[in-house]
Amino acid sequence: MKKVKVGILGATGSVGQRFVELLENHKLFEVVALCASERSVGQKYGELMKSRWKISGDIPEYVKDIVVTSPTPSETQGVQIVFSGLDASIAGEVETAYAQAGVHVISNSKNHRMVPNVPILSAEVNPEHLDVLQYQKTPGKIITNSNCTIMGVTISLKPLMDLFGLESLFLFSMQAVSGAGYPGVPSMDIMGNIVPFIGGEEDKAEMEPQKCLGRVENGQIVPADFKMSAHCNRVPIFDGHTVCLSVKLKKKVDSKEIIEAWKNFRGEPQKLGLPSAPANPIVYREEQDRPQPRLDLMTGNGMTVVLGRLRPDPILDWKYVVLSHNTVRGAAGAAVLNAELIVNKGLI
């Protein structure tokens, strides 16, 4: 099969580097363009990134000689899909320009997430949301990922909502520094410390789950109607967002039924055997002190959401812990999986 030509927008950033890593030798995609800001344009990726590559392993050979360009359709002709890891200050207008030029955009930025006919696609959770793409007026379509904190949360909630109904939830996040991009939070602010504020994060965390878990009606996504509250915190962890969550369900169930629901959960990516799909989207750890970022983050190559500590909650019904990899399942990995899904469904 001929590979689909793709570009990475924001290829030098935290999320962009993950795209570069995950798209090496990909079965469906060939990276032909890498884009970033003016400070990076015109330089070979390998040279430019020598001191900026922040993930383990070397910069893959296949990108070393690609010259970085600006994220403009005229500079990246021939690409059919762009993966966007652009800073939100620029992502909105750039992604719109690509869609207008007929290029599909798989975005990690917040800018288009709350537009009613733009899906916040989570391939295992809401593949039916792709139906709204036909109502976007541009020849290229925009698909977004949710905020990285919410990604693992919505995956954990999906089987509970389908089987038992969801009434309300409360969450408290402990978010890794890589979630702020590079250089991100100054080391003097975060070492040996916790910062109980992440600009804009709680608003996103309180709006996106309802849309992600919503239903499609008349070409628009109608958000699910549960109430929720989020406290978001930055903690001195490099990768991996941990969320402590309490939930009230519509149906009375016992812990065995909940754990069974998680263990049995599979989505379309698993049924279709998509290249980036983990065998299990959710793993539940029985040990009383798991999940932990150091031990559990790379479960399923960083694509599995790891849960633990399910127990009764004296205020709501149940409480548990969610761990997900913020730049893999929470960003680049989920975006690649979304792109695999649209290719598999013949949407491009």
Q: Is 104 a catalytic residue?
A: no
Task: Give the burial class of 199: count Cβ atoms within 10 A of its Cβ; 0-12 exposed, 13-18 middle, 19 or more buried.
Answer: exposed
Quick note: the x/- pattern for ligand NAP over 310-329, rule CB under 6 A, is ----------------xx--
State yes or no: residue 178 binds ligand NAP (CB under 6 A). Answer: yes
Least distance from C-beta 345 to ligand NAP, angstroms? 24
d(CA 348, CA 336): 14
State yes or no: residue 242 binds ligand NAP (CB under 6 A). Answer: no
Q: Is 241 a catalytic residue?
A: yes
Considering only the stretches 14-22, 124-132, 282-290, 340-348, report the one whose residues sit in contact with ligand NAP under the rule CB under 6 A: 14-22
Tokens of 67: 């010259």
Q: Please check whether residue 174 is in contact with residue 297, taking contact to mean a CB–CB distance below 8 angstroms.
A: no
Least distance from C-beta 99 to ligand NAP, angstroms? 17
Considering only the stretches 31-39, 115-123, 153-161, 304-312, report the one whose residues sit in contact with ligand NAP under the rule CB under 6 A: 31-39
Q: Return the closest-CA partner of residue 108 out of 338, 344, 272.
A: 338
State yes or no: residue 302 binds ligand NAP (CB under 6 A). Answer: no
Considering only the stretches 25-33, 84-92, 261-269, 314-322, report the one whose residues sit in contact with ligand NAP under the rule CB under 6 A: 84-92
Q: Which residues of 241-265 are buried (b: 16+ CB within 10 A; e: fewer)?
A: bbbebbbbbeeebeeeebbebbeeb
Least distance from C-beta 310 to ligand NAP, angstroms? 26
d(CA 130, CA 211): 13
* Helices 148-164, 201-212: inter-axial angle, 10-degree rounding: 40
Of all residues in the chain, what percent are helix, strand and coil, respectively (each to 5)? 35, 25, 45
Helix (H) or strand (E) holding 170: strand 166-174
Among 7, 73, 85, 278, binds ligand NAP (CB under 6 A): 85
Least distance from C-beta 90 to ligand NAP, angstroms? 4
State yes or no: residue 338 binds ligand NAP (CB under 6 A). Answer: no
Considering only the stretches 19-27, 87-95, 272-280, 286-294, report the one whose residues sit in contact with ligand NAP under the rule CB under 6 A: 87-95
State yes or no: residue 39 binds ligand NAP (CB under 6 A). Answer: yes
Find where tokens 């139906």 sit.
131
CA neighbours within 13 Å on the CB side: how many for 289?
2
d(CA 64, CA 46): 4
d(CA 71, CA 8): 9
Among 46, 181, 223, 275, binds ligand NAP (CB under 6 A): 181
Least distance from C-beta 93 to ligand NAP, angstroms? 10
Q: Site residues for ligand NAP, window 107-146 (CB under 6 A)?
A: 108-109
Q: Please check whether residue 52 is in contact with residue 40, taking contact to mean a CB–CB distance below 8 angstroms.
A: no
Q: Site residues for ligand NAP, window 56-75 (CB under 6 A)?
A: 71
Q: For residues 109 and 246, which CB has a smaller minimum distance to ligand NAP in the complex?
A: 109
- What are the residues binding ligand NAP (CB under 6 A)? 10-16, 36-37, 39-40, 71, 85-88, 90-91, 108-109, 148, 178-179, 181-182, 326-327, 330-331
Annotated active-site positions, please? 148, 241
